Structure 1
């Protein structure tokens, strides 16, 4: 009788246990890392707090690295993938554009990152963060650069954030003195931009 009761308790615990937290990997450069800010003020941390407050079981990992290029991101991916990932938010390529690196190489690197993620977990959901570069790079380069991200999203059936810095870029009140990296208030808006695309995937 005692054994039967214990079995019933175990079965009930199994079916009533909360679902395991979904792991959301933010993989990017200084924008993800929160350059010039505490990591707690960067948009991935803001997203963690918002989703947790909404009762979502998630674990956010901020794998942003200042100065990171798409090639650098590809090179360190194996180390990052030592843990399972359910959703990848891919925010890389901006430094490639600012350095005027070959666009075909940037796209190739980003695709390789996506391929590695899918090989590790075929069920992974992917969000591609769209980026832009300043017009001083020339109209041909800037147009082709901007096109990389929607093309990648379409090719890989991934979700797309049209422009990560929408309503933030170019606004000095929302950026650090360097005019490139969002400040605390800017990161709040970036978090909203990301959540619009991320929340439906949860």
Structure 2
């Protein structure tokens, strides 16, 4: 069979109707497969781009911790919720400025300086950017020797510094009612100033400034602030905290 005959035979086969149908199906399947590969490639490219974007722009940012370590004043004793205590109002101020800080309220009602000292190591299991120390009032009301209170507060400060020397510390001072005796109340007040000076920490002379002794800003016990009192405390703390943020 010569070349011309071969070409004629192939032409006849291609024009044969069943073969035309088979050829059509072949090209149809081939086209669908190619389109499918194209879609998978696009999906892979899209996924990769998304993963890169999420890596470069994480939605969940880690925030720095501001920890309030105190007694019933910090815990918000007598209030319906800790959301009404002054640390929560400080958080509101932080959020209004869109700063990346999270406030942690570690106040315990009835806490003494000895109690704080006993739990400080557990508290320091977390990273803390700013540590606000508000303890000692219950010591004073119980007539605990000032040397004991001072040693406990110093131990707490030492523990914070040892865990992280970069942690900023704010010491909140407290004052006692005059019925505790002039000498004791005066020495109690000076104790905080001495601690602040010795350790070179930020010092709030009296955390209950403009609140302590004002009936309408305190609950019926005359000691623990109302919600309005806590808002004023938050403003007092904010004066010393804001420059550190």
Report if TM-score (shorter chain) is over 0.5.
Answer: yes
Shift of 1:131: 0.3
Q: What are the Cα deviations for residues 110-149 of structure 1, in whole angstroms up to 9, with x where unaligned?
A: 0000000111111000000010011111111111000111
- Return the index of the structure with the highest Cα Rg: 2
Give 1 or 2: higher helix fraction: 2
Structure 1 residues 136-147: aligned runs within 5 Å: 136-147=179-190
Stretches of structure 2 lacking an aligned partner (at least 5 in a row)? 1-44
Question: Is the aligned partner of 1:197 residue 2:244?
Answer: no
Structure 1 residues 170-185: aligned runs within 5 Å: 170-185=213-228
The answer to which structure, 1 or 2, has the higher relative contact order (CA under 8 A, 6+ apart) is 1
Structure 1 residues 92-131: aligned runs within 5 Å: 92-131=135-174
2:85 corresponds in structure 1 to 42
Question: Is the aligned partner of 1:155 residue 2:201?
Answer: no
- 1:55 pairs, out of 89, 98, 106, with 98
Does the residue aligned with 1:193 lie in a helix, a strand or coil? Answer: helix
Shift of 1:20: 3.5
Stretches of structure 1 lacking an aligned partner (at least 5 in a row)? none
1:31 corresponds in structure 2 to 73
Shift of 1:13: 3.8
Segments of 4+ in structure 1 off by > 4 A? 5-12
**TM, length-normalised to structure 1:** 0.92
The RMSD of aligned alpha carbons is 1.9
CA–CA separation in structure 2 for the residues paired with 1:19 and 1:107: 38
CA–CA separation in structure 1 for the residues paired with 2:61 and 2:171: 26
Shift of 1:54: 1.1
